Amino acid sequence: MRIEDKEGKYSIILDSAVKVFAEFGVENSTVSKIAAKAGVADGTIYLYFKNKKDILIKFADDRGEKIFRKFEEAVNSGKDSKEKLFNLIYSHIENFSKNKDLAVVYQCELSKIHGCQPKIRELSIRYRQMLKDIFLLGQSEGRVSKNVDLDFIKDLVSGSINEIINTYIVKENKNIDILEASGKLVDFIFKGLG
């Protein structure tokens, strides 16, 4: 059996777990359900994960890190602060729209699991630092007033984006015009910061 098979089964279980978590909630998800969804025996789970909670921790670590890289790429590909913010928001909404199970687990389930909190907290801090950097750039571009408290503002913006995800993807499960939503949000923010 090749190494990629191990990675493969590890991934299959992780993906299955997310689907199960999203459908039933973490607490109503049993190891058996995850194993069944992954097409492996219950015991096999324990060859790849220490225990049930470890699945969530690994999910937060792996999938969280992966999606965060995409956010960073999106930001890097923007030529100025406004485009960077737009790209970030667009990437965020798009990625979570494409994978609603992941969105549900991220927004609702993960934050409560004790072992997951370090990674979640780290990602949250990095996310907000990204926002702060964008707005610092905006200040140097003259787009953002030097009077605003960026530490405070980055939280507001982070909350706004979160709410969009929560409202349109997690709760309402609506199809959203990502381009339009991202545009409106960026306009609102930059106007507020001008």
Which of a second copy, DNA, none sits in contact with 111, Cβ below 5 to 8 A by type? a second copy
* 184 binds a second copy per the rule CB under 8 A: yes
User: By the 8 A CB rule, do 183 and 143 touch?
Assistant: no
* 160 binds a second copy per the rule CB under 8 A: yes
Which of DNA, a second copy, none sits in contact with 167, Cβ below 5 to 8 A by type? a second copy
> Out of 87, 163, 173, 175, which residue is the one contacting a second copy (CB under 8 A)?
163
Which of a second copy, DNA, none sits in contact with 31, Cβ below 5 to 8 A by type? DNA
**According to the 3-state scheme, what is the secondary structure of the chain?**
CCHHHHHHHHHHHHHHHHHHHHHHCCCCCCHHHHHHHHCCCHHHHHHHCCCHHHHHHHHHHHHHHHHHHHHHHHHHCCCCHHHHHHHHHHHHHHHHHHCHHHHHHHHHHHHHCHHHHHHHHHHHHHHHHHHHHHHHHHHHHCCCCCCCCHHHHHHHHHHHHHHHHHHHHHHCCCCCCHHHHHHHHHHHHHHHHC
Is 66 or 121 the residue whose CB approaches a second copy more closely?
121
- List C-alpha distances in Å: 174 to 18, 92, 133, 166: 20, 16, 31, 11
- State in angstroms the smallest separation of the CB of 188 from DNA: 43
Phi, psi dihedrals of residue 2, rounded to the nearest 5°: -80, 160
- State in angstroms the smallest separation of the CB of 11 from a second copy: 25
* 141 binds a second copy per the rule CB under 8 A: no
List of residues contacting DNA (CB under 7 A): 1, 5-6, 9, 28-32, 40-47, 51-53
Is 70 or 128 the residue whose CB approaches a second copy more closely?
128
* 179 binds a second copy per the rule CB under 8 A: no
- State in angstroms the smallest separation of the CB of 66 from DNA: 22
Residues engaged in binding a second copy (CB under 8 A): 25, 27, 108-109, 111-112, 114, 121, 148-149, 152-153, 155-164, 166-167, 171, 181, 184-185, 188-189, 191-194
